[in-house]
A and B are shown apart, each in its own frame.
Chain A
Amino acid sequence: MAYRYVIRHHAYTFDDLKTLLARASPLRSGDVLAGVAAATYEERVAAQLALADVPLRDFLHEALVPYEQDEVTRLIIDTHDAAAFAPISHFTVGQLRDWLLSDEADAPALQALAPGLTPEMVAAVSKLMRNQELIAVARRCEVVTRFRNTLGLRGHLATRLQPNHPTDDLRGIAASLVDGLLYGSGDAVLGINPATDNPHTVHQLLNMLDAVCEQYAIPTQSCVLCHVTTTLELLNRSAPVDLAFQSIAGTEAANSSFGINLGLLQEAWEGTRALNRGTVGQQVMYFETGQGSALSANAHHGLDQQTCEARAYAVARRFDPLLVNSVVGFIGPEYLYDGKQIIRAALEDHFCGKLLGLPMGMDVCYTNHAEADQDDMDTLLTLLGVAGCNFIMGVPGADDIMLSYQSTSFHDALYLRRVLGLRPAPEFEAWLEQQGIFNAQGQLLPASASAQLLGRLPAALR
């Protein structure tokens, strides 16, 4: 079905819903590269005006990627909760935007609505919202998840400790791990990106992380971010797998370029849960996403990259994850050109994920060929703190020496917690206090050898 909007005698026609969404999307390099972006500023606003009048029901009837061709579309349609959708089923996209910003849309209302929303509806409404509105609505959503601690509580901010090393050297990783813990990082997960997907190496890394968690009785979870098929293999070898990780995307074709499908994820989910390693919960999945991944696999079906990204959240939602984060600035300037585009995309991703009921965190990051720097990341970090982001990354000095990009540092998390009064996950905070790392007010104590951890370093460092 075609959509039309007339501005001063110029009639804009948008052939179908996916074209309308793409033209309405705020400018970013990836949509230009894909040839789906609006050609002019006026066309973009015309598309937004037309999109505002589209009934939400249309999204249930017009699949952006054909139902027969794509298992993500089938997942979205087949699991849509009509009862949850009923209260807003008469809305247009524009009316949804106004309602979300109204005082009626409080945390319980948003939580109840989540299963009634599809990724495409959420992507659509985000295109009609300014940054402050994405923040204001996301801040109202509270998505709490549990494994060995409680993540996502209002007023809390967690960090993934990311102690990567270019050759997976155990001592190098352990050194960064200790550094991070002594700076109060690691409540979301102790998560290593391995340099190789070799099962033997991954197994060694898992053993090391498990030993550290055991030795210091740290109430957190560990993860080696290998391919899900490697995790499945390691489950068979009885490796200590807390969480199963996978990068996911919003179309079946893009997922297949990652070497995955819903069946594989289901298998990993069931296998990891069966280990029963959680203490306060059994949410065992960790997913990463990012705008542009479908286009880079030439699997975007003419959709804009933000809509593709929101569809990835339907995949994540299916498996009741502990953690989901977009790696927003990692993909490079051909998808998100500069600080402005990265910031906008991160706020969209956080908003869309939260509205769909996901425990969204964010890798606040950039590469050296993007037009971005630490100042842009400070801005984004602060905005996400205000928006109630569940977790950010903790990388020594913000410099990931394995992946060669810049993320957030242990110091950045301390800054954000201090200026916004945010606390770590409660169980982890109690541990930090007991170790002599934090005081009772949640502030880092002066670095002295009094921290118990330094007195008995992990085996890998002795």
Chain B
Amino acid sequence: MTDLPNPLPAAAPAPDPWESLKAFTAARIALGRTGTSVPLREALAFKLAHAHARDAVYSTLATQELLAELEKLQLPVLQVRSRARNRQEYLQRPDWGRQLDEESETLLAGLAEQETDVAIILADGLSATAINEHALPLLQLLVPQLHQAGFRLAPITLAEQARVALGDAIGQRLGARLTLLLIGERPGLSAPHSLGAYFTYGPRPGLTDEARNCVSNIRPEGLPYHLAAGKLLFLIQQALRRQLSGVGLKDDTGLLAE
């Protein structure tokens, strides 16, 4: 028989007696402790959540899969890039993420002019994974509804290293009355793959955030696809009818207040 230290060290730190309060919040409460430190299980859970968020920031658009699926929506698809050439530049130069690179400018300039109502843009933003996971399920609901409402749709654009305002240049070149830009939101620890939808009436470079409306947190555990699609359709109809977006639209509908 081996001599064991006496008393035996506890196998794991004791839980906090107020664990029941966890029912009231998703915050990391009642973690317990060993000394002044967070128990290992909780420390690694945090690390895993941060890893998911970091991986989301460095994720890239699954272009081939997206193109194959978008084909089913029977809309032409364009691919563009911003002036930011990689993630490092993207993170440090928001101004470059708002401008098209030369090749993309040329591509869009070469398109035949045709007035449309809505240009849909899929932008990687800070989580391409959010686009890869949520953009198609949302569009599969929304695109038929937009058609049904009689709107003319521009080609769908896939945009890499893109910020929200890149949509203004794209929308203008496409001759669209309104852009709907889906973008990966800044990943949080609890939601690394959340999709945001920004729409802008009369897109043109130089607009700022007060010219847009946003529906955020689109994901099955947040705002589910069917609710997001319904909300977007309603707001797009409003924006096109009243010929505006942004603060003015928000003030009036009251429906955007989340």
Complex contacts, B31 vs chain A, CB 8 Å: 396-397, 411
* Contact with A396, one of B17, B28, B35, B47 (Cβ below 8 angstroms): B28
Known: A368-B189, A397-B31. A169 touches B25 (CB 8 A): yes
* Contact with B36, one of A368, A369, A411 (Cβ below 8 angstroms): A411
Give chain A nearest CB distance to B228 CB in angstroms: 17
Contact between B16 and A397, CB atoms less than 8 A apart: no
Closest to A179 in B: B29
Question: Which of A80-88, A99-107, A447-455 is found at the contact surface with chain B?
Answer: A447-455
Complex contacts, A418 vs chain B, CB 8 Å: 35-36
The distance in angstroms between the C-alpha atoms of A196 and B191, with both chains bound, is 20
Contact between B126 and A175, CB atoms less than 8 A apart: no
The distance in angstroms between the C-alpha atoms of A409 and B27, with both chains bound, is 11
Known: A368-B187, A368-B188. A165 touches B32 (CB 8 A): no
The distance in angstroms between the C-alpha atoms of A230 and B201, with both chains bound, is 31
The distance in angstroms between the C-alpha atoms of A133 and B192, with both chains bound, is 39
In the complex, A399 has a CB within 8 A of chain B: yes
Q: Mark B183-226, 1 if CB is under 8 A from A, else 0.
A: 00011111110000000000000000000000000000000000
Contact between A175 and B22, CB atoms less than 8 A apart: yes
What total count of A-B pairs have CB within 8 Å? Answer: 127
Give chain A nearest CB distance to B174 CB in angstroms: 28
Known: A182-B16, A447-B16. A176 touches B26 (CB 8 A): no
Contact between B32 and A396, CB atoms less than 8 A apart: no
Closest to A367 in B: B186
Contact between B30 and A179, CB atoms less than 8 A apart: yes
In the complex, B46 has a CB within 8 A of chain A: yes
Contact between B18 and A179, CB atoms less than 8 A apart: yes
Complex contacts, A7 vs chain B, CB 8 Å: none
The range of chain A's interface size is: 35 or more
In the complex, A3 has a CB within 8 A of chain B: no
The distance in angstroms between the C-alpha atoms of A397 and B44, with both chains bound, is 12
The distance in angstroms between the C-alpha atoms of A179 and B186, with both chains bound, is 28
Q: Mark A389-401, 1 if CB is under 8 A from B, else 0.
A: 0000000111101
Give chain B nearest CB distance to A299 CB in angstroms: 14
Complex contacts, A165 vs chain B, CB 8 Å: 25, 27
Contact between A368 and B57, CB atoms less than 8 A apart: yes
In the complex, A163 has a CB within 8 A of chain B: yes
* Contact with A414, one of B36, B47, B186, B187 (Cβ below 8 angstroms): B36
Contact between B38 and A397, CB atoms less than 8 A apart: yes
Contact between B17 and A176, CB atoms less than 8 A apart: no
Give chain B nearest CB distance to A162 CB in angstroms: 10
Closest to A411 in B: B38
* Contact with B17, one of A33, A399, A449 (Cβ below 8 angstroms): A449
In the complex, B37 has a CB within 8 A of chain A: yes
Give chain A nearest CB distance to B51 CB in angstroms: 10
Complex contacts, A411 vs chain B, CB 8 Å: 31, 33, 36-38
Give chain B nearest CB distance to A209 CB in angstroms: 16
Complex contacts, B50 vs chain A, CB 8 Å: 368, 373-374, 406
In the complex, A334 has a CB within 8 A of chain B: yes
Complex contacts, A29 vs chain B, CB 8 Å: 92
The distance in angstroms between the C-alpha atoms of A411 and B47, with both chains bound, is 16
In the complex, B152 has a CB within 8 A of chain A: no
In the complex, A250 has a CB within 8 A of chain B: no
Complex contacts, B92 vs chain A, CB 8 Å: 29, 32-33, 333-334, 337
What DSSP secondary structure best describes chain B's contact surface? loop
Closest to B126 in A: A369
Contact between A401 and B38, CB atoms less than 8 A apart: no
The distance in angstroms between the C-alpha atoms of A63 and B23, with both chains bound, is 55
In the complex, A174 has a CB within 8 A of chain B: yes
Complex contacts, A169 vs chain B, CB 8 Å: 24-25
Q: Mark A437-458, 1 if CB is under 8 A from B, else 0.
A: 0000000101111000010000
In the complex, B91 has a CB within 8 A of chain A: yes
The distance in angstroms between the C-alpha atoms of A428 and B28, with both chains bound, is 24
In the complex, B115 has a CB within 8 A of chain A: no
Give chain A nearest CB distance to B49 CB in angstroms: 8
Closest to A30 in B: B92
The distance in angstroms between the C-alpha atoms of A202 and B151, with both chains bound, is 42
Closest to B29 in A: A179
In the complex, B21 has a CB within 8 A of chain A: yes
Contact between B94 and A401, CB atoms less than 8 A apart: no
Closest to B25 in A: A172
* Contact with A179, one of B14, B21, B189 (Cβ below 8 angstroms): B21
In the complex, B178 has a CB within 8 A of chain A: no
Known: A165-B27, A176-B25. A182 touches B18 (CB 8 A): yes
The distance in angstroms between the C-alpha atoms of A447 and B126, with both chains bound, is 40
Complex contacts, A57 vs chain B, CB 8 Å: none
Closest to B31 in A: A397
Contact between B186 and A404, CB atoms less than 8 A apart: yes
Give chain A nearest CB distance to B80 CB in angstroms: 22
Residues of B bordering A, CB below 8 Å: 14, 16-18, 21-22, 24-33, 35-38, 42, 46-47, 49-50, 53-54, 56-57, 91-95, 126, 186-192
Residues of A bordering B, CB below 8 Å: 29, 32-33, 163-166, 169, 171-176, 178-179, 182, 333-334, 337, 367-369, 373-374, 396-399, 401, 404, 406, 409, 411, 414-415, 418, 444, 446-449, 454, 461
The 15 sampled A-B contact pairs (Cβ below 8 Å) are A33-B94, A172-B26, A175-B21, A178-B18, A369-B57, A374-B46, A396-B25, A396-B28, A397-B28, A397-B42, A398-B46, A401-B189, A401-B190, A409-B38, A414-B36
